[in-house]
């Protein structure tokens, strides 16, 4: 039942996870889905393949350890849950039981960034830094709900682990027309071309970057928006090309700690490749434990909302 | 569901033969501990030596010449610091060369090190060493066997100290919830942690009751009595039954070498040439005492 959506519509990435896994369960009889009590999105898979669905209850460490055992035995396990808990409570299992033996376990979850209004216990804000540190791990952060399905599908043939980060996944903006861009793990997407400055981002802030680019267009400035949905391995060639083509003017926007996530990955590439940057602006979460509020309010409060993004782009262009 | 068609050890070993093999294993452990300059986890190796012997020479259906045979029983060493005991037992069973272990242990690029690595040493079922990880992995393997309708068993060996880790009990609940009668956990209840005796700072008792409370089938034996080990293995429920089994094995850390027994100093260590001679003499004396 292929469903089509068009740009600007809202769609639950969670429902895409559920329907994609149910389809893949048909194609791969060794696909398992494991969840620590976050099964609402997985009902379709659970109902079709109850023998390969496992809800372990509140037990994140066991969920990943069990996935490891399944993968050692030749299965493809998907662990789906809330990322603040999977990425921290089960961090050692992810590192030692999955990444060390390089097993094809997929970690898919929600609550990446200051989303969901759950308070700092329920915001995954360090997760990308933690996951990028792990040898063998591929790290992604997806904003476009339709892309989620495509990434899960591509990950089926990967020999090693992958981390797939979503925001809340209840209501995400469709960013791309189906087939508009080539979507390939490890390759950034130029969501909009431009020549004055590049803004790199991932996840739900891609939509905000596109809006900011619109505002700069009113100033007569041309902003390139790059959806760097794969943080590891990072698309170095695209970074090099953007530096050349937008005069070394970079802004990085992310719903993650400003240090340790995509901005740090790009800064590493710039340092290692000897890229001379004219401007480098980081927009992300400062070193605070954020309180409550709606997503946009929190982004504004912590300095990476739309107006801050527009201001950073203007500074970068003027530098 | 019938048991795996893979044979156990080539000859069904008698208890006396298994005791001889356990003695040989302990001698080889001491030899390694005497020749390797770094620390060997000799205390917990010696406490587990009889369990390893009973499993690899009697209980487990494995084939050293066909490491990926799908019908093989899976063995996950949850107490990864007993890696040496596993390497040597497996060498005696025909998996590896004992000389290869002794000559390269702990050296650069050796497959044999302090904690087992599946990537570097095929034949090992899982990379372990961080405690509390083996049981969840074994649960995953048991689920996999169930899912495929396979009749092999998944066996894991834990230390009792390690069962302080919360992840062990998460997995214990998952095993019971999923009715994994094809899963067996042996616990080497040697009653010592690295720096304290069990019950001294951490209260484990009532220990078998804890597993029973989690819905496991509990067997409680003397882990140095080969006849009891064989009997426990023979009495394991069929793999299509609906409860996981724990075999709580009462053991002594450093078993067989009097100056290491019940001695916190021998959690891990190295024997010099003189101490090696002393340890071998103690092992021999212990054996003679027990055979009287």
Task: Tell me the per-residue pLDDT of A49-84, one tens digit each, with 9 for 90 and over.
Answer: 999 999 999 999 999 999 999 999 999 999 999 999
B178: closest chain A residue by CA: A54
Is A3 domain-assigned? no
The per-residue pLDDT of chain B, averaged, comes to: 95
pTM value is: 0.95
| Residue A168 sits in the same domain as residue A217 | no
Question: Under an 8 A CB cutoff, do B147 and A97 touch?
Answer: no
A51: closest chain B residue by CA: B147
Chain A residues within 8 A of B156 when measuring between CB atoms: none
| Residue A46 sits in the same domain as residue A135 | yes
| Residue A216 sits in the same domain as residue A268 | yes
Rounded to an integer, what distance in angstroms lies between the CA atom of residue A119 and that of residue B27?
58
Is A2 domain-assigned? no
Amino acid B2: pLDDT:
42
- Residue among A69, A92, A100 whose CB faces B140 most closely: A69
| Residue A65 sits in the same domain as residue A28 | yes
**CATH number for the domain including A41?**
3.40.50.970
Is A113 domain-assigned? yes
CB of A143 closer than 8 Å to CB of A198: no
Contacts of B174 (CB under 8 A, 6+ apart): A54, A56, A59, A62, A66, B136, B139
Rounded to an integer, what distance in angstroms lies between the CA atom of residue B109 and that of residue B96?
16
| Residue A131 sits in the same domain as residue A43 | yes
Q: How far is A256 from chain B (nearest CA, A)?
A: 28
Segment B68-86 mean pLDDT = 97
**CATH number for the domain including A198?**
3.40.50.920
- Residue among A70, A72, A75 whose CB faces B125 most closely: A72
The per-residue pLDDT of chain A, averaged, comes to: 94
- Residue among A57, A70, A92 whose CB faces B144 most closely: A70
- Residue among B136, B142, B173 whose CB faces A65 most closely: B136
| Residue A23 sits in the same domain as residue A148 | yes
| Residue A231 sits in the same domain as residue A313 | yes
The token duo for A275 is 């890229």
Is A181 domain-assigned? no
Rounded to an integer, what distance in angstroms lies between the CA atom of residue B176 and that of residue A204?
40
Is A133 domain-assigned? yes
Among the three residues A113, A140, A173, which one is the final residue of a domain in this structure? A173
Q: What's the domain count of chain A?
A: 2
Segment B46-60 mean pLDDT = 97
Question: Under an 8 A CB cutoff, do B141 and A56 touch?
Answer: no
- Residue among B129, B137, B144 whose CB faces A65 most closely: B137
What confidence category does residue B1 fall into, taking pLDDT thresholds of 50, 70 and 90?
very low
Question: Under an 8 A CB cutoff, do B140 and A96 touch?
Answer: no
Is A199 domain-assigned? yes
Amino acid A3: pLDDT:
44
Q: At what angle do helices B15-35 and B273-291 cross, to 10 degrees?
A: 170
* Domain, as residue range, for A249: 189-318
| Residue A230 sits in the same domain as residue A155 | no
What confidence category does residue A9 fall into, taking pLDDT thresholds of 50, 70 and 90?
low
Question: Under an 8 A CB cutoff, do B178 and A96 touch?
Answer: no
Question: Under an 8 A CB cutoff, do A72 and B141 touch?
Answer: yes
pLDDT tens digits, residue range B86-133?
999 999 999 999 999 999 999 999 999 999 999 999 999 999 999 999
Amino acid A14: pLDDT:
79
Chain A interface with B: residues with Cβ < 8 Å: 32, 51-52, 54, 56-57, 59, 61-62, 64-75, 77, 92-93, 96-97, 100-102
Among the three residues A173, A200, A234, which one is the final residue of a domain in this structure? A173
| Residue A18 sits in the same domain as residue A128 | yes
Amino acid A179: pLDDT:
86
Structural domains of chain B, with CATH: 15-291 (3.40.50.970)
| Residue A302 sits in the same domain as residue A193 | yes
pLDDT tens digits, residue range A283-317?
999 999 999 999 999 999 999 999 999 999 999 99
Amino acid A2: pLDDT:
41
Segment B28-34 mean pLDDT = 96
pLDDT tens digits, residue range B197-248?
999 999 999 999 999 999 999 999 999 999 999 999 999 999 999 999 999 9
Is A184 domain-assigned? no
Amino acid A10: pLDDT:
64
A55: closest chain B residue by CA: B174
Amino acid B9: pLDDT:
67
């Amino acid at each position: 039942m292929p469903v089509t959506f068009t740009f600007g519509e809202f769609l639950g990435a969670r429902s895409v996870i559920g329907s994609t896994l149910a389809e893949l369960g048909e194609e791969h009889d060794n696909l398992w889905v494991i969840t620590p009590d976050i099964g609402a999105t997985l009902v379709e898979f659970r109902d079709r393949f109850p023998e390969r669905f496992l809800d372990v209850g509140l037990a994140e460490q066991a969920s990943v350890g069990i996935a490891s055992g399944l993968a050692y035995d030749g299965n493809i396990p998907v662990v789906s849950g809330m990322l603040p808990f999977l990425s921290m409570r089960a961090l050692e299992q992810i590192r030692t039981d999955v990444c060390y033996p390089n097993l094809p376990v997929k970690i898919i979850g929600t609550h990446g960034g200051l989303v969901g209004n759950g308070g700092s216990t329920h915001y995954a804000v360090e997760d990308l830094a933690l996951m990028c540190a792990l040898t063998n791990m591929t790290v992604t952060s997806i904003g476009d709900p339709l892309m989620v399905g495509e990434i899960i599908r591509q990950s089926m043939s990967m020999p090693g682990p992958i981390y797939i980060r979503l925001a809340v996944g209840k209501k995400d903006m469709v960013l791309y027309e189906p087939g508009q861009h080539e979507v390939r793990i490890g390759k950034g997407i130029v969501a909009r071309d431009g020549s004055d400055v590049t803004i790199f981002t991932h996840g739900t802030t891609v939509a905000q970057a596109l809006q900011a680019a619109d505002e700069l267009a009113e100033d007569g400035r041309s902003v390139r928006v790059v959806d760097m949905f794969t943080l590891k391995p990072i698309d170095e060639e695209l970074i090099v090309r953007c530096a050349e083509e937008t005069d070394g003017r970079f802004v990085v926007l992310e719903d993650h700690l400003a240090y340790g996530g995509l901005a740090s990955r790009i800064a590493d590439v710039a340092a290692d490749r000897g890229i001379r940057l004219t401007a480098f602006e980081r927009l992300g979460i400062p070193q605070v434990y954020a309180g409550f509020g709606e997503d946009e309010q929190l982004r504004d409060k912590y300095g990476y909302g739309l107006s801050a993004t527009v201001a950073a782009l203007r500074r970068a262009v003027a530098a | 569901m019938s048991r795996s068609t893979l044979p156990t050890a080539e000859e069904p070993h008698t208890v006396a033969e298994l005791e001889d093999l356990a003695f040989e294993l302990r001698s080889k452990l001491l030899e390694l501990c005497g020749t390797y300059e770094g620390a060997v986890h000799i205390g917990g190796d010696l406490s587990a030596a009889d369990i390893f012997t009973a499993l690899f020479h009697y209980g487990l259906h494995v084939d050293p010449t066909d490491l990926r045979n799908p019908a093989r029983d899976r063995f996950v060493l949850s107490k990864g610091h007993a890696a040496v005991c596993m390497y040597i037992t497996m060498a005696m069973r025909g998996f590896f060369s004992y000389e290869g272990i002794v000559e390269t242990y702990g050296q650069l690029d050796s497959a044999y090190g302090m904690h087992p690595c599946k990537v570097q040493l095929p034949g090992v079922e899982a990379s372990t060493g961080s405690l509390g990880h083996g049981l969840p992995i074994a649960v995953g393997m048991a689920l996999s066997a169930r899912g495929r309708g396979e009749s092999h068993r998944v066996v894991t060996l834990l230390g009792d100290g390690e069962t302080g880790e919360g992840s062990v009990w998460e997995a214990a609940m998952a095993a019971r919830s999923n009715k994994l009668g094809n899963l067996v956990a042996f616990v080497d209840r040697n009653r010592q942690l690295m720096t304290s005796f069990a019950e001294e700072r951490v209260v484990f008792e009532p220990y078998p009751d804890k597993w029973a409370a989690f819905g496991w089938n509990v067997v409680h034996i003397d882990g140095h009595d080969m006849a009891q080990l064989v009997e426990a293995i023979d009495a394991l429920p069929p793999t299509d039954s609906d409860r996981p089994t724990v075999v709580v094995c009462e053991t002594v850390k450093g078993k067989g070498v009097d100056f290491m027994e019940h001695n916190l100093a021998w959690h891990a260590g190295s024997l010099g040439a003189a101490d090696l001679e002393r340890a071998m003499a103690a092992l021999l004396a212990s054996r003679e005492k027990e055979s009287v």
